């Protein structure tokens, strides 16, 4: 869904060229929604987008504007939210930090249309909206009563040159890894979707968090559509009992975890970034060890992972950790509509770098 007007505003706003393939992925493949304000001459002056996401969370995360929580136990549920992106105002029309400004108008109109108090319940598809605004957008959004923080993002770092963390799980298990391609997800779609929901459900129930739904199409569209990413599957073996799973069983039957990674050069070092990861609940330490070991074998000097607070705490308990970056994660809301969602998800969103539309 190419838009010449969006492309021009994007390049004026961010001072970088908009890759047509990236725009197609956001607005065609990911079915991004948007609202724009135009000038009298037809030029796009402001733009606000939201990308539909399926989430897995507990009943407590589904609280509505009446503050009522579903009563049928606190089991894991799947529901829809919007993740904001491409929030832009033409440089010549910035600086108005009041409710008559373009930023407030385009933001409020989008939010009210999709999650506002006047959206009938039967037409309300999305529970709430969240995003990753930069510091400037955060300050403006808070000033106008649009944004409120619901946690923090941390960039974790492991230096492979310092030796690898040694955990009991890693000692007991041997992890085989193999690169996964589109055929794997196509041929194992149902089995993989069931497996991935089970792992998300365990995290939701075990840690009380709310996570993005990572089905087969997500891994395919988000990562395998781009040559700079690869998805590795991890298959556990028990050193004392042999292969975990029946002889000759498929890769899917032996899958214990997977991760989306990319390698890049940074100054004089090679950095491997974990953009997304999912594993059997009890095997996260072993899967992390396998990723670090593979990175070391491939010559990477450092492994990094950009994660929200609940994931950072969880990973911190598994291995040696150095915190190198911290940036707030925000949920935008309109005072007339979305403020009721804040207590339900405060510091409970589990997101990683791959959940964004810009890493």
Q: In the predicted model, what is the mean pLDDT of residues 316-339?
A: 55
pLDDT of residue 241: 45
Q: What pLDDT digit, counting tens, does each position of 292-301 carry?
A: 888 888 888 8
Q: What pLDDT does residue 242 have?
A: 45
More confident of the two residues 351 and 342: 351
pLDDT digits (tens, 9 = 90+) for 277-327: 999 888 888 888 888 888 888 888 888 888 888 888 888 765 555 555 556
Greater confidence (195 vs 136) lies with 195
Domain architecture of the chain: domains with CATH? 4-151+330-352 (3.40.630.30), 155-328 (3.40.630.30)
* Residue matched to tokens 């539909």: 52
Among 97-106, 177-186, 227-236, the range of highest mean pLDDT: 177-186
pLDDT in tens, 247-287: 334 778 888 999 999 988 888 888 889 999 999 888 888 88
Model pTM score: 0.84
Of 174, 92, 161, which Cα lies nearest the Cα of 301?
161
Give CA angle at 113 (108, 115), nearest 5°: 90
CB 352 within 8 A of CB 305: yes
In the chain, the percentage of residues whose pLDDT exceeds 70 is: 76
- Helices of type H across 95-160: 102-115, 135-143
Least reliable range by pLDDT among 189-193, 194-198, 220-224: 220-224
How far is 185 from 278, CA to CA, in rounded Å?
15
Cα–Cα distance for residue pair 195/257, rounded to 1 Å:
10
76/211 Cα distance (integer angstroms): 10
8-30 pLDDT, tens digit per residue, is 998 988 888 888 888 888 888 88
């Amino acid at each position: 869904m190419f838009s010449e007007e969006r492309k021009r505003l994007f390049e004026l706003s961010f001072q970088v060229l908009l890759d047509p393939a990236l725009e197609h992925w956001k607005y065609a493949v990911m079915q991004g929604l948007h609202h724009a304000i135009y000038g009298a001459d037809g030029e796009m002056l402001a733009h606000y987008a939201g990308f539909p996401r399926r989430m897995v969370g507990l009943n407590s995360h589904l609280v509505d504007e009446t503050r009522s929580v579903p009563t049928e136990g606190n089991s894991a549920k799947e529901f829809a939210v919007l993740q904001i992106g491409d929030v832009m105002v033409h440089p010549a029309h910035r600086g108005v930090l009041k409710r008559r400004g373009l930023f407030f108008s385009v933001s409020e109109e989008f939010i009210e249309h999709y999650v506002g108090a006047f959206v009938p319940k039967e037409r309300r598809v999305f529970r709430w909206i969240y995003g990753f605004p930069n510091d400037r957008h955060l300050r403006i959004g808070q000033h106008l009563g649009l944004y409120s923080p619901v946690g923090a993002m941390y960039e974790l770092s492991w230096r492979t040159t310092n030796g690898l963390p040694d955990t009991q799980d890693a000692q007991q298990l041997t992890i085989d890894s193999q690169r996964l391609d589109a055929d794997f997800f196509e041929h194992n779609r149902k089995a993989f979707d069931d497996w991935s929901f089970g792992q998300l459900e365990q995290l939701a129930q075990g840690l009380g968090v709310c996570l993005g739904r990572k089905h087969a199409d997500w891994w395919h569209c988000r990562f395998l559509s781009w040559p700079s990413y690869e998805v590795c599957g991890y298959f556990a073996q028990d050193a004392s009992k042999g292969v975990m799973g029946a002889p000759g069983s498929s890769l899917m039957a032996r899958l214990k975890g997977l991760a989306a990674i990319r390698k890049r050069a940074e100054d004089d070092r090679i950095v491997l970034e974990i953009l997304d990861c999912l594993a059997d609940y009890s095997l996260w330490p072993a899967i992390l060890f396998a990723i670090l070991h593979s990175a070391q074998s491939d010559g990477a000097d450092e492994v990094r992972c950009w994660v929200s607070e609940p994931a950072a705490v969880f990973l911190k308990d598994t291995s040696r950790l150095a915190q190198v970056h911290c940036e707030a994660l925000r949920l935008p809301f309109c005072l007339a509509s979305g403020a009721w969602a804040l207590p339900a998800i405060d510091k409970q969103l589990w997101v990683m770098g791959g959940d964004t539309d810009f890493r």
